[in-house]
Amino acid sequence: MDTTCIMCPMGCALTITEENGVVTVTGNTCPRGAKYGVSEYTDPKRMVTTLVKVRGGGVLSVKTSAPIRKTLVPAALKAAAGVLLDHSVHAGDVVLADVAGSGEDLIATADLVYTEK
């Protein structure tokens, strides 16, 4: 697998290979790059930040409570798109529990004062 290291502005071009269960990173210039390369190869994770709809119009910003498996991101976005909020929430409140089976919740990142329209 080829990727770009994001640990610093150098942006080293990494090549990651696996042989007999041993993951090897080449192209890095520092140990942080090697560590990043291994995690991107074995278990890449991403924070998801997106919007959910509010009944009657408007949107609320949300995020996953922690980074989730990268492969689950499309499913998490789809699940978020299916939410239609009809009550007030505070920043930090769970909007959707265990999003896409990731083990993490979708939580509000802002307050929403819901008024019925």
Partner 1 sequence: MKHFDVVIIGGGPAGMAAAIGAREQGASVAILERDVRLGGILNQCIHNGFGLHYFGEELTGPEYAERFRKKVLSDSGIKVYLEAMVLSLTEDRVVTAVSPTEGLIELSAGSVVLAMGCRERSAGAIGLIGTRPAGIYTAGMAQRLSNVDGFLVGKEVVILGSGDIGLIMARRMTSEGAKVKLVMELMPFSSGLKRNIVQCLQDYDIPLRYSTTVTRVTGKERLTGVYVAPVDDKLQPILEKEEYISCDTLLLSVGLIPENDLIAGSAIEMSRITSGAVVDEYRQTSVPGIFSAGNVLHVHDLVDNVSEEAYVAGTAAAKYARGAIEDTPCMQVTTGTGVRYALPQRIHKGEGTVRLYFRVDKVYRGMTVTARSEGVLLKKKKTMVLAPGEMQYIEIDKSLVMGDVCVALEE
CA-to-CA distance for 34 and 49, rounded, in angstroms? 27
Strand 49-54 to 84-85 pairing:
parallel
| CB nearer to partner 1: pick between 91 and 97 | 91
**Which among 9-17, 20-28, 97-105 is the span making contact with partner 1, rule CB under 8 A?**
9-17
Q: Please tell me whether residue 56 binds partner 1 under the rule CB under 8 A.
A: no
**Which among 7-15, 19-27, 93-101 is the span making contact with partner 1, rule CB under 8 A?**
7-15
Assess contact for 101 and 80: CB atoms under 8 A.
Answer: no
Q: Please tell me whether residue 1 binds partner 1 under the rule CB under 8 A.
A: no
Q: Which tokens sit at 35?
A: 């560590």
Q: Which residues bind partner 1 (CB under 8 A)?
A: 3-6, 8-11, 29, 46-47, 49-51, 53, 57-59, 61, 63, 70, 73, 77, 81, 91, 109-111
